Amino acid sequence: MAGILYIVPTPVGNLEDMSFRAVRVLKEADLILAEDTRTSSVLLHHYDIHGKLLSHHKFNEHQTVGMIRDRILAGQNVALISDAGTPGISDPGFLLARTCAEEGIEVQTLPGATACIPAIVSSGLPCDRFCFEGFLPQKKGRQTLLASLESEPRTMVFYESPYRLVKTLGQFIEHFGPDRMCSVAREISKVHEEHRRGTLAEVEGWFREHEPKGEIVIVVAGNKNKLKHEGEKGCGEGGKDFVTK
C-alpha cells in the first residue's frame, strides 16, 4: 500500500506557530524533505523531532522527485517542509505534489503559516479579493508583468528582497502612480515585525531613509478607477483613511 505525501507549513518567524498536527506528522514521517537541512534542523531540534532529513530544493528537485515518488509508492510516508511558510508558495513543492497526484498518491497539505495572508490582513487594504504575484521576475518579463497589473482591480501581494525593495517600490510608482496605497510588512511574526503603510511615494521615501532588513511582503491597492468602471464593490476603496505608521 502506498504511503502519503504530507506538505507541512513551518513558521515564518516565531517557532510557536507550528501546529500540534504538524509536529506529530513530522515525528511520524519516514522521511522529511527539507529545502535547507541546516535551517530545518533548528526547527526539528526545537520540537525534539529526529526523523531522517533529505535535501529537496529547486536545484535538485527534478533529479530527486522520481526517487521520492518510488519511496512513497513503496509505503513510506514523506513530509515536505520549506525553510519557512507553506511549501509550493514561492518555494519548492509544486513538482513533487503534481508528480504524486499523477501517480494517484494521496497528498495531504496541512493548513499553517504563510507570510502573504498576515501581510494582507494587517495592511488595512481590501482582502476579500486579492491576487498573489509572489516574487516578480528580476529581469525578463518584469516590465511586461507590471504593465499588465496597472488595471488590476484587486489588492496585489508581492514578495521582495530587502535589497531590491526601494527599486521595486520605484517601479510600482511608475506603473501604479505615487498615490496608490500600499503596505510593506517586514519580519512577520518575528521580534522586529513592522508594517509601514501609506502611499507608494510615502513608503518608498521612508525606506530610502531607513535601510530595510529581513523578509518583505508588499501589499498594493488595486486600481479603484478600474473597479468603479466595472461596477464592483468592496475592493480598492479601503485606502482613503490610511496614515503612515
Q: What's at 31, amino acid-wise? A: L
103: containing domain: 4-109
Q: How many domains does the chain have?
A: 2
- Looking at the fold, whether 129 and 222 belong to one and the same domain comes out as yes
The answer to whether 149 and 125 are in contact (CB under 8 A) is no
Mean pLDDT over residues 108-137, rounded?
Answer: 95
**CATH number, position 193:** 3.30.950.10
Task: Check whether residue 91 and residue 171 sit in a common domain.
Answer: no
Same domain? For 20 and 99 the reply is yes
Region 214-238: mean pLDDT is 70
* Domain-terminating residue out of 109, 129, 145: 109
Residue 235 domain-assigned (yes or no): no
Dump the DSSP string for 146-198: HHHTTT--SEEEEEE-TTTHHHHHHHHHHHH-TT-EEEEEESTTSTT-EEEEE
Same domain, 216 and 150: yes
**Chosen domain end from 74, 94, 109:** 109
Model confidence over 39-98: pLDDT tens digits? 999 999 999 999 799 999 888 889 999 999 999 999 999 999 999 999 999 888 999 999
pLDDT of residue 227: 53
In eight-state DSSP terms, residue 236 is T
H helix or E strand, kind and range, residue 28:
helix 20-28
Same domain, 143 and 170: yes
**Is the pLDDT at 243 greater than 70, yes or no?**
no
pTM reported for the whole predicted model: 0.86
Final residue belonging to a domain, choices 90, 109, 128: 109
- With respect to residue 238, please indicate whether it lies within any of the assigned structural domains: no
Examine the domain organization and report whether 90 and 129 are in the same domain.
Answer: no
156: confidence class by pLDDT, cuts 50, 70, 90:
very high
Residue 42 parent element (H or E): helix 37-46
Is 242 within a domain?
Answer: no
Higher pLDDT, 180 or 244: 180
79: domain CATH number is 3.40.1010.10
SS3 116: helix
Q: What is the pLDDT of residue 170?
A: 98
